[in-house]
Structure 1
Amino acid sequence: MGPGEQTITNDEMLAAEYNSEYLGVTHFQLMETVGARIADRIAEKTRGKTNPRIHIIAGPGKNGGDGFATARHLASQGYKVRVTLVARTSDVHDEAARHQLDAILQMTDSIQFESLPDSSQLRPIEADIILDAVLGYGIKGELRQPLLGAVRIINRSRGYKIGLDLPSGLDSDTGEPHGEAVKADLTISLHKIKQGLLKGTQYAGETISLPIGIPPEAEAYAGPGDFKILWKPRPPTAHKGDYGRLLIIGGSENFTGAPAFSALAATKCGTDLVYVASPDKTAEIIASYSPDLITIKLPGDHLNPRALPELAKWTTTADAIVLGPGIGLHE
């Protein structure tokens, strides 16, 4: 990792990719860029070699799609490439990865392709470059076959090993292996250095980052990707309050809308319980906006010190507090 290079977490990378899509830079475009730039790096590594042997081991997901794109770009530069998919071709469901796979399946002169869904079919490789495109970031749980077998075969193989984004099996945040992980000579981390690579140096080898065309705005501003990583599926066994308790303190005799709309926005965003603490008559009006709102009546026409004992009881139950909407300019 060079000086000044930035790191990124799993969630931040996921958000950046979704936000890029929202900004018009599709996942397919990013995959194309990855393929072209990884191919250029491999070309640099093999410069001066006659007919270098390049073997790409790919999984069925997006990381595999990056590997397929790399194979095509290498072939377009005149390289002979071998690609092993550690799955059935029908297991490739990601649309962009599927598109890349369909393309290289037609390139029978320049790309030697094989699909080996049974890990017992895998054999150690001898090549000048072995590109690990089995798994990327965001994996969960211990590795299982046939992907575990692929990791083991790569580690037993002879050749310069490059991890595409991450060494397969390495956690992108903690740097710990999910049971086992590829031990790479070089890891080319896409967009920014994944945080886990700083901790899992025994697996990452040399680490560099590779810009792939994600717009700066995808990280500078909140977008759908940021919402996606915050939004979690709710199990049927969830209880009221498990997904947040919000206390809104505000409102006055002339301003009822601000706290009410703040509360309604919170319910729309998925907050389980929303409490609105407002002066007595204001609270009655706010309650009429929606039966989902729980109002707390405070003494007086506007917020004043007499409300503190009542507020103290509710602040301890809230996960977050919004203070101020419609509070007015009273002394």
Structure 2
Amino acid sequence: MRTAYGVETVRATERQLMARLPEGTLMQRAAAGLAVASADLLGRVYGSRVVLLVGSGDNGGDALYAGARLARRGAGVTALLLAPERAHAGGLAALRRAGGTTVHSPAGGRAAGATEGAADRPAGGSASDPAERPAGGPAGPTAAEVLIERADLVLDGIVGIGGKGGLRPDAARLAEAAERSRAAVIAVDLPSGVDADTGQVHGAAIRADLTVTFGTHKPGLLIDPARDFAGTVRLVDIGLDLPEEPALEALQHADVARLLPVPGPESDKYRRGVVGIAAGSARYPGAAVLAVAGALHGGAGAVRYVGPAGDAVLARFPETLVSDLGPAKAGRVQSWVVGPGAGDDAATVAQVLEADVPVLIDADGLRLADRDTVRARTALTLMTPHAGEAAALLGVARAEVEGARLSAVRELAARYRATVLLKGSTTLVAAEEGAVRVNATGTSWLATAGSGDVLSGLAGSLLAAGLPARDAGSVAAYLHGLAGRYAADGAPVGAQDVAKAIARAWRDVRD
């Protein structure tokens, strides 16, 4: 299980550890890991050109000490100091002893909106050191930008986990120069300009190829839009003793394998779970077919279909149990999926919500479901909106949901007293009490018509097998994402192909 912890938890845990260690130990551990990652990315350290973007906080100190290690191995290291008078004194001294140089960046004062803490690593340094030289003039590329554009590697130590808001203009200009350059960019702990706790990005931010994070993942490294700025994430263990309850979880193969339902010697179709699918309409019969496909490939012992697309379902999946008597008279089920392609069939949605079994609500069902009815349900409820549907349920603009996905999914789960799976390039699954899992196994090729219907059927079958709503949603998102990768293999893919690839994803996880 990959876990992430919020800023306050990380800081409190660091303080506890620092009280037991010699001063500066934690920073040296972080710098050592950062230097190793930098060397791995460079391949050849000797003769390489490394530029450090150094702010006034601990991340700047980490960058300086890592730069000193690289300089001792023969790299040409230059530190651009955004706040020279507050740069880390020990880190500056170490860099200079190793042969590195420092340059005044044109950014005067703080580079980002928040005040950075320095609980264990006191800041200092002098702006009058002869090794520091002014960089650039008022027009055209500054000397700092030229250094960045010629670098092989840029280390982003502008601002750390306490940063709020985007980069200030001078720092933003350096970030743009880094993005334009041929240099590889490594973010120290997390990219400057992103919110560590929420994954939000307000304004300019560093776009890294690699983020080297210390002690634990931070939520923002796993959630879009910040995740897109982080690149590959590498975790360096610095010895933190973290609490049992993380802010965020991300399942991995072993976790999913433990949760997958496997039939035993005495299993029959009813013991394995029967999922009811109330989906499709005269206008959208394909939604019913795809939801049934997801359910059948998701391990259900049987699938009962209720709706106007029975002929289309039977033509594709003759093993489906089709009924035209409505959900209440369809027969025994252990879960229901309602809403994909349902059009305006509010009566069917209402009838399904009355059932005393777990219910998954998707697509049109989200629009038609009465919130008070959902809140009053005693059986499990799993809602699966995309950003646009979530925005409609919350009464906000879609951009607001896309920019603050973590708070949006938690708000929806609380409002509806349900588990909510918010679809996207990183899928978030939030329980009513606020615990969240994140999944990133997917591919952009999954942005295709009907993909969500397959996911609904898959998750519904896992509910029928007895998985709790958060597990069912998390496992379904994981398998669906893997199936999308396998089906696409770097090329366009259709929803039916994704459904067929679920079996391969399942075997891959189990093996």
Query: Is residue 2:33 matched to residue 1:37?
Result: yes
Query: Is residue 2:195 matched to residue 1:168?
Result: no
The residue that corresponds to 1:130 in the other structure is: 154
Asked whether the 8 Å contact 1:20–1:26 carries over to 2, the reply is no
After TM superposition, the structure 1 = structure 2 runs for residues 43-62 of structure 1, keeping only pairs within 5 Å, are 43-48=39-44, 51-62=47-58
In structure 2, give the amino acid aligned to 1:201.
R
RMSD (Å) for aligned C-alpha atoms:
2.4
**Aligned-partner SS, 1:84:** strand
How far does residue 26 in structure 1 lie from its aligned partner after superposition?
A: 5.1
CA distance in 2, matches of 1:40, 1:169: 24
Asked whether the 8 Å contact 2:54–2:80 carries over to 1, the reply is yes
In structure 2, give the amino acid aligned to 1:91.
R
Map Cα deviations across residues 169-193 of structure 1 (whole Å, 9 max, x no partner). 0100111113211111111111111
TM-score, normalised with respect to structure 2? 0.38
The residue that corresponds to 2:67 in the other structure is: 71
CA distance in 1, matches of 2:206, 2:230: 8
Query: Is residue 2:115 matched to residue 1:91?
Result: no
Change (3 A) 1:98 1:219: farther
**Aligned-partner SS, 2:2:** coil
Asked whether the 8 Å contact 1:137–1:165 carries over to 2, the reply is yes
Structure 1 or 2: more helix by fraction? 2
Change (3 A) 1:30 1:49: closer
Query: Is residue 2:17 matched to residue 1:20?
Result: yes
Map Cα deviations across residues 58-94 of structure 1 (whole Å, 9 max, x no partner). 1121110111110111122232212211222x123xx
After TM superposition, the structure 1 = structure 2 runs for residues 1-331 of structure 1, keeping only pairs within 5 Å, are 4-22=1-19, 24-25=20-21, 28-48=24-44, 51-88=47-84, 90-92=85-87, 97-107=88-98, 110-118=99-107, 121=142, 122-124=144-146, 125=148, 126-199=150-223, 200-214=226-240, 216=241, 219=243
Number of equivalenced pairs? 208
Change (3 A) 1:61 1:117: farther
CA distance in 2, matches of 1:183, 1:191: 21
How far does residue 140 in structure 1 lie from its aligned partner after superposition?
A: 2.5
Is 126-135 or 73-82 further displaced after alignment? 73-82
The residue that corresponds to 2:431 in the other structure is: none
Map Cα deviations across residues 183-232 of structure 1 (whole Å, 9 max, x no partner). 11111111111111111221011112111233x2x647xxxxxxxxxxxx
Change (3 A) 1:21 1:33: same
TM-score, normalised with respect to structure 1? 0.57
CA distance in 2, matches of 1:27, 1:5: 29
Percent identity among equivalent residues?
30
Which structure's relative contact order is higher, taking Cα pairs within 8 Å and 6+ residues apart?
A: 1
The residue that corresponds to 1:285 in the other structure is: none
CA distance in 2, matches of 1:189, 1:134: 14
Change (3 A) 1:201 1:99: same
How far does residue 133 in structure 1 lie from its aligned partner after superposition?
A: 1.1
In structure 1, give the amino acid aligned to 2:195.
D
Asked whether the 8 Å contact 1:68–1:101 carries over to 2, the reply is yes
**Aligned-partner SS, 1:148:** helix
Is 120-129 or 67-76 further displaced after alignment? 120-129
Asked whether the 8 Å contact 2:221–2:227 carries over to 1, the reply is yes
Q: What runs of 5+ residues in structure 2 fail to find an aligned partner?
A: 109-137, 245-511
Asked whether the 8 Å contact 2:54–2:81 carries over to 1, the reply is yes
**Aligned-partner SS, 2:51:** strand
CA distance in 2, matches of 1:136, 1:111: 23
CA distance in 2, matches of 1:53, 1:143: 24
How far does residue 130 in structure 1 lie from its aligned partner after superposition?
A: 1.2
Change (3 A) 1:105 1:145: farther
CA distance in 1, matches of 2:151, 2:188: 16
Change (3 A) 1:71 1:48: closer
Asked whether the 8 Å contact 2:37–2:212 carries over to 1, the reply is no
CA distance in 2, matches of 1:7, 1:78: 35
Change (3 A) 1:171 1:80: same
**Aligned-partner SS, 2:24:** helix
CA distance in 1, matches of 2:66, 2:23: 15
Asked whether the 8 Å contact 1:87–1:117 carries over to 2, the reply is no
**Aligned-partner SS, 1:192:** coil
How far does residue 31 in structure 1 lie from its aligned partner after superposition?
A: 0.9
Q: What runs of 5+ residues in structure 1 fail to find an aligned partner?
A: 221-331
In structure 2, give the amino acid aligned to 1:133.
G
CA distance in 1, matches of 2:156, 2:55: 9
CA distance in 1, matches of 2:196, 2:167: 14
CA distance in 2, matches of 1:135, 1:27: 22
How far does residue 37 in structure 1 lie from its aligned partner after superposition?
A: 1.6
CA distance in 2, matches of 1:212, 1:9: 16
Change (3 A) 1:46 1:152: closer
CA distance in 2, matches of 1:177, 1:14: 21
Map Cα deviations across residues 278-321 of structure 1 (whole Å, 9 max, x no partner). xxxxxxxxxxxxxxxxxxxxxxxxxxxxxxxxxxxxxxxxxxxx
How far does residue 138 in structure 1 lie from its aligned partner after superposition?
A: 1.2
Map Cα deviations across residues 104-162 of structure 1 (whole Å, 9 max, x no partner). 2344xx21221224475441522221111111101134432433333333233321111
